């Protein structure tokens, strides 16, 4: 009777492969950080994306200019809000103020009800109200167009069925071209892809090459080392910003309605914040492979939850709060505001402030963690 096949009965080449495979398997099991990412990354990202990616847009922040001040106009507003697509957040005095609020990003849509609303309702030959929608954001125009095309549930005698309730005007992208929405935000996406990975391996590479011991013996402080490593990449990032902007203007005919100085100041702040995140990752990872894994782990949520690819307004509230931690979320607001809507950094101060806070926190944590390793 033939005896069972043992490891020693394997051909020599299979024994060598088996030995290397077992060695690699044990190494993965001993590396707690890599083991945690193997299990944690799929679970966390499935939870985030499963709940966060939603094409059904709700609660669009909307400003209202009601010149009619009638019971019919109030009923129309109530009916529009009942659809849950629009949420009235501000009442404004005139259309000029409404359009300025859209340009600054304070609201994403606006409803204008003219003074002759009641006559329009009785004549039933013209639209009752006009809706301005920010065309620089993906998904909003489609949601408002669907609301305008649908029959708005109105009270009897308030909104005749033969009347078209809303006339939609798309601001900043009247041709409804996808490139106009996507290309400016691509500046942030491409910078995230390059800047995080570049700096995530910075300190790890110093350690693996043996240069970290030399840095320990110098009088360079932790924060000085962080800033010194960050500065060259800021210049690289600004160069990439210029390349992407030129390609967008020359090939995709993307308009630049705002100040280039505001754009480059906002891009510089975003680049510094992204590099700060990369340096923080570099202080956590122990190998370049781990650093790259963690860099890409932060990249995918940034792309999907920042409002670049999917409508930010369609995400559940907890996911929107999570997206506030990502620097790309705020830069997408800044770059679309400056490039497409012609906004200034002063009018986008809240997004600029959040980017500045992220930069300070990430750089401080990176410097503190690096000091602990030096000690």
Express each pLDDT in 106-117 by its tens digit.
999 999 999 988
- What pLDDT band is residue 118 in, cutting at 50, 70 and 90? confident
* Averaged pLDDT for residues 193-219: 73
pLDDT, tens digit (0-9, with 9 covering 90-100), for 35-89: 666 776 677 667 666 666 667 788 889 999 999 988 888 888 888 888 888 889 8
SS3 86: strand
Name the average pLDDT for the chain. Answer: 81
Residue 137 and residue 131 in contact, taking contact as beta carbons nearer than 8 Å? no
Give the pLDDT score at 268: 94
User: Between these two residues, 309 and 350, which has the higher pLDDT value?
Assistant: 350
Element of type H or E holding 166: strand 166-171
d(CA 313, CA 133): 13
* Averaged pLDDT for residues 87-109: 91
Lowest mean pLDDT among 65-69, 194-198, 286-290, 321-325: 286-290
Give the pLDDT score at 283: 81
pLDDT, tens digit (0-9, with 9 covering 90-100), for 336-353: 999 999 999 999 999 999
* Averaged pLDDT for residues 288-298: 78
Residue 366 and residue 280 in contact, taking contact as beta carbons nearer than 8 Å? yes
Give the pLDDT score at 80: 85
H-assigned helices in 4-92: 12-30, 32-52, 71-82
Give the pLDDT score at 343: 92
Laid out side by side, the sheet with 166-171 consists of 86-91, 60-66, 109-113, 129-134, 166-171
d(CA 267, CA 192): 11
d(CA 90, CA 110): 9
User: Between these two residues, 325 and 288, which has the higher pLDDT value?
Assistant: 325
C-beta atoms surrounding 105 within 10 Å: 21
Tokens 């600029």, residue located: 352
Q: Residue 316 region, left (φ>0) first, then alpha (ψ -120 to 50), else beta? A: beta
The beta-strand segments (E) located in 51-104 are 60-66, 86-91
**pLDDT at 1 exceeding the cut of 50:** no
Give the pLDDT score at 153: 47
Give the pLDDT score at 132: 93
C-beta atoms surrounding 151 within 10 Å: 8
Domains within the chain, CATH numbers bracketed? 60-171 (3.40.190), 178-374 (no CATH)
- What pLDDT band is residue 365 in, cutting at 50, 70 and 90? confident
Give the pLDDT score at 10: 73
Q: What is the 3-state secondary structure (H, E, C) of 223-282?
A: HHHHHHHHHHHHHHHHHHHHHHHHHHHHHHCCCCCCCHHHHHHHHHHHHHHHHHHHHHHH
Give the pLDDT score at 210: 65
Lowest mean pLDDT among 128-137, 157-166, 258-267, 282-291: 157-166
User: Between these two residues, 25 and 249, which has the higher pLDDT value?
Assistant: 249
pLDDT, tens digit (0-9, with 9 covering 90-100), for 124-171: 667 788 999 998 888 888 888 888 776 454 444 444 444 557 888 999
Strongest mean pLDDT among 1-5, 196-200, 308-312, 345-349 = 345-349
Phi/psi of residue 142, nearest 5 degrees: -65, -40
User: Between these two residues, 221 and 368, which has the higher pLDDT value?
Assistant: 368
């Amino acid at each position: 009777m033939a005896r069972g096949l043992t490891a020693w009965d394997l051909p020599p080449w299979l024994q060598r492969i088996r030995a290397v495979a077992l060695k690699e398997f044990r190494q993965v099991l001993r590396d707690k950080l890599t083991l945690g990412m193997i299990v944690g990354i799929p679970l966390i990202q499935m939870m985030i994306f499963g709940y966060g990616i939603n094409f059904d847009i709700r609660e669009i922040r909307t400003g209202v200019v009601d010149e009619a001040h009638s019971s019919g106009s109030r009923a129309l507003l109530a009916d529009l809000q009942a659809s849950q697509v629009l949420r009235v957040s501000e009442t404004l005095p005139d259309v000029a103020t409404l359009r300025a609020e859209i340009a600054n990003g304070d609201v994403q849509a606006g409803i204008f009800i003219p003074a002759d609303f009641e006559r329009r309702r009785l004549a039933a030959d013209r639209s009752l109200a006009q809706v301005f929608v920010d065309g620089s954001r993906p998904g909003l125009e489609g949601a408002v167009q669907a609301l305008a095309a649908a029959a708005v549930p109105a009270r009897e005698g308030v909104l005749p069925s033969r009347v078209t309730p809303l006339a939609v005007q798309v601001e900043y992208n009247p041709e409804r071209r996808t490139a106009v929405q996507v290309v400016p935000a691509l500046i942030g996406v491409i910078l995230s892809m390059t800047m995080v990975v570049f700096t995530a391996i910075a300190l790890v590479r110093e350690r693996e090459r043996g240069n970290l011991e030399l840095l320990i013996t110098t009088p360079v402080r932790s924060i000085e080392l962080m800033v010194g490593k960050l500065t060259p990449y800021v210049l690289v990032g600004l160069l990439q910003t210029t390349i992407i902007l030129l390609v967008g203007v020359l090939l995709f005919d993307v308009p630049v309605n705002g100040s280039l100085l505001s754009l480059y100041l906002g891009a510089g702040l975003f680049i510094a914040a992204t590099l700060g995140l990369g340096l923080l990752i570099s202080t956590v990872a122990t190998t370049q492979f781990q650093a790259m894994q963690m860099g890409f782990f932060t990249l995918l949520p940034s792309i999907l939850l920042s409002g670049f690819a999917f409508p930010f307004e369609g995400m559940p509230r907890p996911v929107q709060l999570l997206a506030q931690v990502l620097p790309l979320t705020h830069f997408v607001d800044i770059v679309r505001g400056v490039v497409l809507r012609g906004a200034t950094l002063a009018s986008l101060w809240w997004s600029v402030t959040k980017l500045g806070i992220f930069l300070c926190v990430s750089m401080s944590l990176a410097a503190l963690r690096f000091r602990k390793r030096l000690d």
